[in-house]
Structure 1
Amino acid sequence: MLSSLVVATIFLLTRLTNAWGTLGHETIAWIAQSYVSSTTKASVQSILSSTASDYMANVSTWADSYRYTSGGGWSAPLHYIDAKDNPPESCSVDYNRDCGEAGCSVSAIVNYTSILLDEKSKSSTKLDAMRFVIHFVGDLHQPLHDEALDVGGNTISVTYDGEKTNLHHIWDTEIVEQLADGQDAEGFAKNLTTAIQAGDYGWDAGSWLDGVSLNETQTTAMAWASEANAFVCADVLAAGVDAVEEGDLSGTYYKAHYDVARIQIARAGYRLGAWLNLIYTGQTSG
């Protein structure tokens, strides 16, 4: 029988790499699908060997499942970049400081993008690269996947809707589910895509692609990571660790910070679509 310490450790580890949870990742993929060109769509579908309507959404969480297979444990560090900063006093991400020897989300996006760009890459290698890019672009936009403090919030105990959990998990799952308000990923994505196109909430989607370049893949990914990391100081832990450990965060805390989840999921989907367009057409737009 497993000791309580081992059980607790296993429980914690299962939390570490599931950024946005299933709903968030699938929503990001659905948004991306609405922004890819016909050429990009055909290329992605060919690599994934799928013509299903949810061809990207249905592989968007593959990387999380793969991480827990006997051969996939090596990929765990690629789901995050551990910013060794000091929230809420200061937030920053530095590639040389924060991307470890085993890699990180930023180095993963650089690597797998290069594989997709290389016509000589094997089809099986491109398949994994596509599934990783779809997932890791999403991961990069979850603020606590760009933060080392308390294992990205995994060891910060909180209460949400009467249930005991941790800060990382509520940003992955509970806040997103409360925001979606019963919608499935496709429906949630349609509403967010409409908001992107209409410029709702003051969004300026054109600015979301500022500086995006395949010639500067690391710089692009680091800009996205830094943007998400800034929310750790400004929103996620603005009042400090002690503040989130008190009360039920599904009330006042959710109302104060849910827009971070909304804009980051929208940005991730919009940028993923644009990134894939760049790979296959050389242009961000469809």
Structure 2
Amino acid sequence: MAVAGLGHVTTAYLASHFVSNTTEAFFQDLLRNDTADYLANIATWADTIRYTRWGHFTGIFHFIDAEDDPPSYCGVELDRDCKEEGCVVTALANYTQRALDPELSAWERNQAARFVVHFIGDIHQPLHDEDVSRGGNGIHVLWEGKEFNLHHVWDSSIAEKLIGGARRRPYDNAKRWADGLAEEIKTGKFADEKAEWLKTVDFNDVVGTALSWAREGNAYVCTHVLPDGPHEIVGQELGGAYYEKAASVIELQVARAGYRMAAWLDLIADEFEANKIQQGDWQELQYGH
């Protein structure tokens, strides 16, 4: 696993702490994996297939290009910022719907679930909600003396440093981080705010829910990612004071993503099962016994 997957695998492990028992059984069956790693093992799949011939069309689904002007103005507007081919907001809505569609094959719903898990992670990374220099990919900075692009720093470097390095045994490190965050959510520093995190969750307005998450992430571009603007940060060393401010945002966004993912997966599992029962009742009424 590339270090870039650390955040994704952590959010997946974190979600597995909070899903209901029936949701766990539902997705273990759908994903054909009855271990505790059933979500973590598919968390980075969407990144691997975007570079294949058949999966290339999904590349644009990992982000929304907010055409704002940080640090003076941050904001996401769906009509303005979501490309005609799609974006992370509409992709999350589409694959949520596909995960619920009983007309699709189990493998198609399996794929949809993989996308849902991944895109919930993506939408919580501020630079996946930003257009400037291709979400920071075109901004070159220094991280502990080495040159990286800003997107990589926010995807990987900050999280890796936060947990004390993750190049060896990355899944173990992700699980350890998720276990710690789960305790913070249950009884620690996030306990009082976790209910607030779910106020934006509306299964009757999937696009609106995803858009609210994108706007929340995008706001950090003005306050923490590019506080002095995109030109001032070029060539700057980010491993010191910048990291100290950014690390708390990464931790919070990973915690939010995992907790919200659990709630979202619960809704998918509950709705699918309810629809199945409803369909069975309808068939019984229609055909009788």
| Structure 1 residue ranges, 4+ long, deviating more than 3 angstroms after superposition | none
Match of 2:76 in 1: 93
The match for 2:250 among 249, 261, 264 is 261
Match of 1:226 in 2: 215
AA aligned to 1:82 is D
Can you list the C-alpha shifts for 1:221-246, whole angstroms capped at 9, x where unaligned? 00000000000001100111233224
- Structure 2 residue runs of 5 or longer lacking an equivalent are 167-172, 272-289
| CA RMSD after TM alignment | 1.7
Matches within 5 A, 1:163-174: 163-174=146-157
Alignment map for 1:120-139 (pairs within 5 Å)? 120-139=103-122
Count of matched residue pairs: 265
CA–CA distance in structure 2, aligned partners of residues 20 and 239 of structure 1? 27
Opposite residue 33 of structure 1, the aligned amino acid is S
Of 235, 240, 254 in structure 2, the residue corresponding to residue 251 of structure 1 is 240
1:147 to 130, 137, 140: 130
Task: Please tell me whether Structure 1 or Structure 2 has the larger radius of gyration of its CA atoms.
Answer: 2
Q: Show the counterpart of 1:159.
A: 142
Alignment partner of 1:213 out of 190, 198, 202: 202
Identity among equivalent pairs (%): 44
Letter in 2 for 1:171: W
Match of 1:83 among 59, 66, 76: 66
Q: TM-score, normalised by structure 1?
A: 0.89
The CA deviation at 1:119 is 2.1
Q: CA deviation at 1:33?
A: 0.5
Return the offset for 1:53.
Answer: 1.8
Distance 1:19 1:83, change over 3 A: farther
Matching of residue 51 in structure 1 with residue 34 in structure 2:
yes
- For residue 225 of structure 1, give the secondary structure of its aligned residue in structure 2: helix
TM-aligned CA deviation for residue 180 of structure 1:
1.2
Matches of 1:19 and 1:256 in 2, distance apart? 24
Q: Which residue of 1 aligns with 2:57?
A: 74
Amino acid at match of 2:205: E
Deviates more, 1:177-186 or 1:208-217: 177-186
Unpaired runs of at least 5, structure 1: 1-17
SS at match of 1:164: strand
CA distance 1:277–1:20, shift in 2 (3 Å)? farther
1:104 corresponds, among 78, 81, 87, to 87
- Alpha-carbon separation, structure 2, partners of 1:147 and 1:20: 22
Superposed CA offset, 1:8-37 (max 9, x none): xxxxxxxxxx99821110000000011111
The reply to whether residue 271 of structure 1 matches residue 254 of structure 2 is no
Q: Report the Cα distance in structure 2 between the residues aligned to 1:143 and 1:90, rounded to whole angstroms.
A: 14
- Asked whether the 8 Å contact 1:105–1:136 carries over to 2, the reply is yes
Q: Deviations over 1:54-90 (max 9, x none)?
A: 1100110000000011211100000001101111110
Aligned to 1:23: 6
Cα displacement (A) at 1:211: 3.2
Q: CA deviation at 1:188?
A: 0.5
Q: What is the DSSP-based 3-state SS (H/G/I as helix, E as strand, rest coil) of the residue aligned with 2:141? A: strand
SS state at 1:215 partner? coil
Q: Rate the CA distance shift 1:274–1:199 in 2: closer, same or farther, 3 A.
A: same
One-letter amino acid of the counterpart of residue 156, structure 1: I
